[in-house]
Amino acid sequence: MPEHLKAAVVYYSSTGNVHALARAVAQGAELAGAEVRLRRVAELAPPEAVASNPDWLAHAEAARDVPLAELTDLTWADALLFGTPSRYGNMAAQLKQFLDTTGGLWDAGELADKALAGFTSAGSPHGGQESTLTSMYQVFMHWGAILVPPGYTDPVVEGAGGNPYGVSADDGGGAGPGEPALAAARHLGRRVAEKAALLRRTPAGTPGGTSVGTPVDARAAGSLGGLS
């Protein structure tokens, strides 16, 4: 594992379910040898809305010491993992607002080739988790990042419901994510960190690869049958 491998876990959570997944994701990245920053995005809802829901208020107070995410966390990290509750099959506005501030980094190419994946939670097993994950992935594809979904790379994925897009959970009837979902989250964190490590060990232009932007001699290409 390369020295100083770095992973940032950036999430929004209202009542604590995604927070629990984020902690498990961070544990998995740490198991892969990464230095991890756990960061929450800022709350956008008015205080009276938060106070109207006892679970929301309790989690807001419990998570107060988790540092707020900053754009520098994204440039610092080799691996990025983003979490959000499902909102009508889409990411929460709080995370979307944070991602919408990354335009300058995107324009500068600062987010290209980052290894990343997502995780989510909804109120029911079919509450829009897969479309929520893909709503995040649309942003990451614009960045030119490298998606590292779990696929079916470990039995824990099936144990958590078999979502190949990312980790998903439901609120467990108010109990929060169960151990199967947390195990899948740890697997995802470790997997993304490991793939980020591989990317760091294999820069463009090493033997067996092709340097990005290196011109190809047309005569040499012709000897290989030409380029399409």
User: In the CATH hierarchy, which fold is given to the domain comprising 6-223?
Assistant: Rossmann fold (3.40.50)
Answer for the pair 144, 111: CB distance below 8 angstroms, yes or no.
yes
Tens of pLDDT, residues 133-163: 999 999 999 999 999 999 999 999 999 999 9
The domain limits of the chain are 6-223
CA distance linking residue 27 with residue 37, whole number of Å = 11
- Give yes or no for a contact between 28 and 188, defined as CB atoms under 8 angstroms apart: yes
Specify whether the CB–CB gap between 13 and 83 falls below 8 A: yes
Q: In sequence order, what E strands does the chain have?
A: 6-11, 35-40, 79-87, 90-91, 115-122, 146-147, 167-170
Can you give the pTM of this predicted structure?
Answer: 0.86
- On whether the CB atoms of residues 146 and 115 are closer than 8 A, the answer is yes
In which band, very low, low, confident or very high, does the pLDDT at 200 lie, cut at 50, 70 and 90? confident
- For residue 9, with 0-12 CB atoms within 10 Å meaning exposed, 13-18 middle and 19 or more buried, which class applies? buried
Contact of 18 with 120, CB cutoff 8 Å:
yes
Least confident of 44-53, 55-64, 166-175: 166-175
The better pLDDT of the pair 203, 177 is held by 177
**Tokens 């040898």 belong to which residue?**
33
- Length in residues, the chain: 228
Return the closest-CA partner of residue 144 out of 110, 174, 172.
110
Total Cβ atoms within 10 A of residue 161: 16
